[in-house]
């Protein structure tokens, strides 16, 4: 219920809304997701763990935005986009929430992350992205209508 109230607040502020589905924007976010993933791995190999953590989060986040634009949902808020994974698509968002906390932690001077732990996060991010890319590619027009209706129903 707390999540739904948060979504309603954002909708009133115009931060989330239905729009026309955009294949072009979806593809752009998928390319960004892949690019950030590759960059994260390069930074990881160079022992730049803080920057690698930030980019691995954005790789996952951009794959979520690709899904939302495929459906025709505009979201200008990270937390909202992550919540919509669960509320609209019934997808587990726990990994993304944890990754978001790691990314926010990189903004503090005392940030520390073991290289082995980050390596596991990169592997999980790759699995998450592959799963989400597959999910997006298999969406039918009928499923898109259902997800758009679920979005609308959240705000009634």
3-state secondary structure the chain: CHHHHHHHHHHHCCCEEECCCCHHHHHHHHHHHHHHHHHHHHHHHCCCHHHHHHHHHHHHHHHHHHHHHHHCEEECCHHHHHHHHHHCCCCCCHHHHHHHHHHHHCCCCCCCCCHHHHHHHHHHHHHHHHHHHHHHHCCCHHHHHHHHHHHHHHCC
Q: Where are the domains of the chain?
A: 2-154
**What confidence score (pLDDT) does residue 28 get?**
98
List the structure tokens of 148.
């758009």
C-alpha of 61 from chain center:
3
**What confidence score (pLDDT) does residue 1 get?**
66
How high does pLDDT run on average in the chain? 96
Q: What pTM, to 2 d.p., does this model score?
A: 0.95
Question: Tens digits of per-residue pLDDT, 113-146?
Answer: 899 999 999 999 999 999 999 999 999 999 999 9
Q: How far is CA 1 from CA 6, 28, 36, 83, 144, in A?
A: 9, 33, 33, 12, 24
d(CA 33, CA 12): 29
**What confidence score (pLDDT) does residue 155 get?**
86
List the structure tokens of 53.
């953590």
Q: State which CATH number among 3.40.50.10470, 1.20.120.330, 1.10.150.120, 3.10.20.600 fits the domain covering 2-154.
A: 1.20.120.330
**What confidence score (pLDDT) does residue 2 get?**
82
**What confidence score (pLDDT) does residue 156 get?**
81
């Amino acid at each position: 219920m707390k999540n739904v109230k948060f979504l309603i607040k954002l909708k009133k502020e115009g931060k989330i809304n239905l729009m026309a589905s955009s294949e072009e924007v979806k593809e752009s976010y998928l390319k960004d997701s892949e690019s950030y993933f590759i960059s994260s791995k390069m930074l990881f190999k160079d022992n730049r763990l803080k920057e690698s953590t930030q980019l691995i989060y954005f790789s996952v986040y951009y794959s979520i935005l690709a899904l939302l634009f495929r459906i025709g949902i505009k979201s200008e808020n990270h937390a909202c986009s992550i919540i919509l994974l669960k509320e609209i698509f019934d997808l587990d968002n726990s990994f993304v929430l944890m990754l978001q906390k790691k990314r926010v932690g990189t903004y503090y001077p005392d940030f520390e992350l073991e290289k082995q732990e980050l390596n596991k996060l990169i592997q999980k991010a790759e699995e998450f992205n592959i799963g989400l890319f597959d999910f997006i590619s298999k969406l039918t027009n009928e499923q898109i209508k259902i997800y758009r209706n679920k979005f609308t129903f959240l705000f009634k």
